[in-house]
Amino acid sequence: MSPIVRRKRKKFHIPAKYLLMILSGFCVLMMLFTFRTNLFDGPLKSVVGYAVIPFQRGFSRIGGYLSDRSKELAQLRDVLAQNQALQEQVDDLTMENNQLMQNQYELNNLRTLLELDETYSEYEKIGARIIASDTENWFYSFTIDKGKKDGVNVDCNVMAGSGLVGRVVSVGPNFAKVQSIISDTSNVSATVLATSENLIVEGDLQSVSSQGTIRFSQLSDLDNRVTVGDKVVTSSISDKYLPGILIGYISSINTSPDNLTKSGYLTPAVDFSHLEEVLVITQLKRTG
């Protein structure tokens, strides 16, 4: 005999989400019939009430919870919108404050240049802005936005802060390159203003970057009249620089081994780490 093949009956299964929907619908219908009609009276109504009221309370609590969360969500959205508006105001005020600080900084620079212009009123000058530098830290060599068409020539003296910056070493139609007095290849004939003693100011980038000072040498001071704090200006015997421009102040003095001259360091009158605008003296030193 052939084996009897028994087929398994497929069990009827309702997904949980549909069952919940059916029960919820049934409860709603029961509530409607119970409290909106008179179809169920007496014991049946009581039985239905016992069955429906707990669901009703549950739905009521759920509805209240969802209503509260909806209100909180609306409040949260309002708070976020207000916060966004306040943040935008803060950003605007920050930008305005930064702009004001920048304007104040530029105004102070212009005032300093104006005072410098008035101090050396005997020289013809034009203002210029630095547009490039060979280094980000110290302005030993840089390019300005004024050139030949503006009356700038090679060896024009350049000033900023309270005194001498350097001189123009090359010129284009609308730009010029400046070598500052802190450059290692720079030498400036100078004079101690109080005693008229001559000396040479030597560019020393390492000294400026480490100590903020510039070297000087060949100071003839046999009577020891030069003291710390004395002003040093460009000398009348310089072949590149106009006389009387402030270079800096004596900060230290050392006697040379031969006891004939002295050397030392001076604090420059210009902050060579923060330069933006300069004054260019358009007239040249006349050596003939």
Q: Write out pLDDT tens, residues 81-106.
A: 888 888 888 888 777 777 776 666 56
The two structure tokens encoding residue 163 = 């005194």
Q: CA-CA distance, 280 to 45, in Å (whole number)?
A: 105
Dihedral of the alpha carbons of 44, 50, 55, 56, in degrees to the nearest 10: 80
Longest dimension (CA), the chain: 142
Amino acid identity of residue 180, one-letter, is S
CB-based contact 165:132 (threshold 8 Å): no
Give the other-Cβ count within 10 Å of 255's Cβ: 14
* pLDDT beyond 70 at 183: yes
As beta bridge partners, residue 266 has: 214, 250
Helix axes of 42-119 and 16-36: crossing angle, nearest 10 degrees: 110
CB 250 within 8 A of CB 262: no
The domain segmentation of the chain, as residue ranges, is 16-91, 125-281
In this predicted structure, what is the pLDDT of residue 1? Answer: 47
| Radius of gyration over every alpha carbon of the chain, rounded to an integer in angstroms | 44
CA distance 245 to 48: 108
Cα separation, 230 vs 214, whole angstroms: 14
Band (10; pLDDT cuts 50, 70, 90)? low
Please check the confidence at residue 35 and state whether its pLDDT lies above 70: no
The yes or no reply on domain 125-281 and CATH 3.40.50.720 is: no
Q: Which two tokens stand for residue 120?
A: 């050396």
pLDDT of residue 86: 84
CA 131 – CA 143 distance, rounded (Å): 6
